[in-house]
């Protein structure tokens, strides 16, 4: 028996004529696929609980090492229906789900990544969906989500001086995920980051998730933040795709 937990539907795919395989981000078991019997039938007991991004309470039946436990129950906690009905918000939410599946290993406990304090991947996903449902065209929610998720997955940027010698530095090397000084610098692309961006990044990574909405950088600082996150994310995704996952 795998047990009961809360889950967020990340994606689903048909299996046979009426069955589905659902990818859940769960609160207790991390990313977990499950087999749902006959949810595509009109009178399915699952109702609308398996729609994309639905926050649901689920029961999974199978051995702990089972590749595909069976979904026996799914009760809606929050449907996020308004988000699904907005094309822009829906596409942004799809981007969050894709990134979760790229960066987080399957079955790793969602709360086991400690780089962002008490905020696990499950709570972060709920925060992102809530923010997009309230503001579907938001630019800041997906950006902050990407930064926090990278930290949870082990790709938090090192910002406390040169990662090798500790000297002050304003040059960030994405391949190393860290600041490096002139004596320790390496070949490859680098970003100059301002003191304001460094302070903003530290705040976004350390603030409790419920207080992130209080941080409102100006246009110039927001643009610098976006460039940093986009560059750092490309390297994190590349590292995740490598067999050894090493920098």
Domains for the chain: give ranges and CATH numbers.
3-80 (2.40.50.140), 82-241 (1.20.1440.120)
Tell me the sheet residues that pair with 76. Answer: 56
Write out the two tokens for 62.
């199978």
Cα–Cα dist 127/115, whole Å: 17
Over residues 45-52, the mean pLDDT reads 83
Q: Which of 96, 107, 108 is nearest to 52 (CA)?
A: 96
Residue 64 above 70 pLDDT? no
**CA dihedral (225, 223, 126, 47) positive or negative:** negative
pLDDT value at position 52? 95
Express each pLDDT in 202-227 by its tens digit.
999 999 888 888 888 999 999 999 99
DSSP structural state of residue 212? G
Give the alpha-carbon dihedral of 160, 164, 165, 170, to 10 degrees. Answer: -50
| Contact between 247 and 163 (Cβ < 8 Å) | no
Angle at Cα 225 formed by Cα 168 and Cα 146, nearest 5°?
110
Express each pLDDT in 71-104 by its tens digit.
999 999 999 999 999 999 999 999 999 999 998 8
pLDDT value at position 63? 67
| Contact between 177 and 186 (Cβ < 8 Å) | no
């Amino acid at each position: 028996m795998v047990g009961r937990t809360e889950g967020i539907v990340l994606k689903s795919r048909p299996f046979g004529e009426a069955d589905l395989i659902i990818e859940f981000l769960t609160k207790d078991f991390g990313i977990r696929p499950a087999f749902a019997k006959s949810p595509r039938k009109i009178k399915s007991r699952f109702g609308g609980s398996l729609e994309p991004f639905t926050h649901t309470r689920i029961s999974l039946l199978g051995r702990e090492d089972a590749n595909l436990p069976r979904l026996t129950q799914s009760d809606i906690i929050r449907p996020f229906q308004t988000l699904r009905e907005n094309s822009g918000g829906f596409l942004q939410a799809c981007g969050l789900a894709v990134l979760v599946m790229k960066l987080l290993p399957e079955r790793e406990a969602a709360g086991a990544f400690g780089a962002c304090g008490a905020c696990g991947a499950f709570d972060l996903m709920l925060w992102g969906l809530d923010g997009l449902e309230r503001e579907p065209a938001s630019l800041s929610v997906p950006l902050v989500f990407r930064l926090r998720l990278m930290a949870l997955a082990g790709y938090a940027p090192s910002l406390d001086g040169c990662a090798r010698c500790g000297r002050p530095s304003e040059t960030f090397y994405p391949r190393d995920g860290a600041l490096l000084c002139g004596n320790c610098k390496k070949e490859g692309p680098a970003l100059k980051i301002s003191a304001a961006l460094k302070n903003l990044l530290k705040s976004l990574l350390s603030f409790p998730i419920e207080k992130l909405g209080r941080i409102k950088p100006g246009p110039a600082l927001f643009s610098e933040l976006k460039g940093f996150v986009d560059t750092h994310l490309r390297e994190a995704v590349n590292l995740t795709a490598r067999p050894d996952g090493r920098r």
